Amino acid sequence: MTHLELRNITKAFGGFEVIRGVDLAVNKGEFLVFVGPSGCGKSTMLRMIAGLETITGGQLVIDGAVMNDEAPVKRGVAMVFQSYALYPNMSVRQNLAFGLEQARMPKPEIRERVEAAAETLKITPLLDRRPGALSGGQSQRVAIGRAIVRDPDLFLFDEPLSNLDAELRVHMRVELKALHARLGRTMIYVTHDQTEAMTMADRIVVFRDGQIEQIGSPLELYNSPVNRFVAGFIGSPQMNFLPLHRNARGRLQVDGGAELDLDPPASGDAILGLRPELAELCEPGAGFLDGRILTVEHLGGESFIHLQPADHGAEPLVIKVIGQTTARAGDLAGVTAPMHQVYLFDAATDRCLMSPTQPSPLTATPRRLASAP
């Protein structure tokens, strides 16, 4: 069931369009993540849903009613800000109660709700403290508490974990996901961190330049990105991109490397997309590209090998190896990969021409390679 619908939403700041026609339907109870690089419009989109920014064009529909000009309260939203925005002059208890007081809820009910929310988030001992006396993680919990105490239909999170240290971030990620499962409410979560997006989302919406590039489940985006931008954004470390050219035999060949054993698209040049975890090191000359190892990052359980292709203009490649490696900086090595696991992008349009979920291009039956969006 659709909870929230964006119909051709646009937003302009003084003639400059930051949101350029966004269409999106959010299901009831869904955990949706807006992801994209900074300045892509994802936060603006969230603030428009919250009612903090006016909507220049299009319709914002919540539960079937157009809400373009309604106050945030009427929209049934609560928002958690990146900076937490805990009122510094009020205790945690007063912070939690503030929204309920605005709704003119009776005092006993407010106390009950505040205490229940504090219990849920394990912040009961902090209720009489001021925000200044809280740690980052505690402030984060209070900020979330201030949202859940109002029991809204729609939660909006604007990069809520970006001010926490790495360990706490992982912890809060799990807790937020558990909270979502418990409350069953619709949540829209903005982040620029693709790991957060991948781990938390039911569906991810990838934004670029004020437009939606792709919507899908985390694995859909990982397996079948519609273009090079989505492919590069989803997955960590980032996908490697190798420019290819069409050689005299009409086959695709890595610039400064060997010919690839796959069926080329009908025409034009292409770009090879190679996930770091699917690339492999081999003897120099045995793969489709040779290079010199720049650095090796040992993480213990896995290693990242940075390799500079012999063609010096090219970007260094990252190869992820499970476990530990004997490769050392300065070594010469070749790169190879199973051809049914690589991606192919159109060099001119960046569109994805081939991705691993599609039938292997090595099969005898010719298949349509293009996956037009």
Partner 1 sequence: MTMMTHPHADTLTARFYRATRVIHWRNWTVMVLLGIGAVFMLLPFMWTFSTSLRPISEAYRLPPSFLPDRLDFSSYARLEDGPIPFLTMYWNSFVVAAVTTVVVIFTSAMAAFAFSRLRFPGSNVLFASMLVGLMVPPALVLIPLFFGMAAVGLIDTLWSLILPALANPLAVLMMREFMRSQPREYEESAFVDGASYWTIFWRISLPQMGPPIAALSIIVFTTSWNNFLLPLVFVRSFEAMTLPVGILSLFGSYGAEELSVILAAVTLSILPLLVVFLIAQRFIVESIASTGVKK
Nearer to partner 1, 143 or 176 (CB): 143
Chain residues binding partner 1 by CB under 8 A are 50-52, 71-73, 77-79, 81-83, 85, 87-90, 98-99, 102-103, 132, 135-136, 139, 146, 150
- Alpha helices in 83-151, H assignment, sequence order: 92-102, 107-120, 136-148
CA 11 and chain centroid, separation = 22
Which of 156, 197 has the CB closer to partner 1? Answer: 156
Alpha helices (H) along 5-76: 42-50, 72-75
Closest by alpha carbon to 169, among 129, 200, 206?
A: 200
Q: How far is the CB of 56 from partner 1 (least distance, A)?
A: 14
- Name, in order, each residue with C-beta under 8 angstroms of 348's C-beta and a sequence gap of 6 or more: 268, 269
Could you tell me the smallest distance in angstroms from the CB atom of residue 5 to partner 1?
20
- Which residue's CB is nearer to partner 1, number 139 or number 224? 139
- The residue (of 139 and 303) whose beta carbon lies closer to partner 1 is 139
Taking only Cα atoms into account, the Rg of the chain, rounded to an integer number of angstroms, comes to 25
In the complex, least distance from residue 118 CB atom to partner 1, rounded to whole angstroms:
17
Tell me whether residue 43 or residue 358 sits nearer to partner 1 (CB atom): 43
CA distances from 124 to 80, 119, 127, 141 (A): 19, 6, 5, 11
Shortest gap between Cβ of 50 and partner 1 (angstroms)? 6
Could you give the C-alpha distances from 128 to 96, 111, 139, in angstroms and in order?
A: 11, 13, 13
Residue in 259, 211, 257, 175 with CA at minimum distance from that of residue 36 = 211
Between 192 and 275, name the residue whose CB sits nearer to partner 1.
192
177 exposed, middle or buried (CB, 10 Å; 0-12, 13-18, 19+)? Answer: middle
Q: Which is nearer to partner 1, 135 or 217 (CB)?
A: 135
We find the least distance from the C-beta atom of residue 144 to partner 1, in angstroms, to be 13
Q: How far is the CB of 331 from partner 1 (least distance, A)?
A: 38
Work out the widest C-alpha separation in the chain, in whole angstroms. 81
Q: From the CB of 117, what's the least distance to partner 1, in Å?
A: 14
Question: What end-to-end distance do the CA atoms of the chain give, in Å?
Answer: 25
Q: Is 160 left (phi over 0), alpha (psi -120 to 50) or beta?
A: alpha
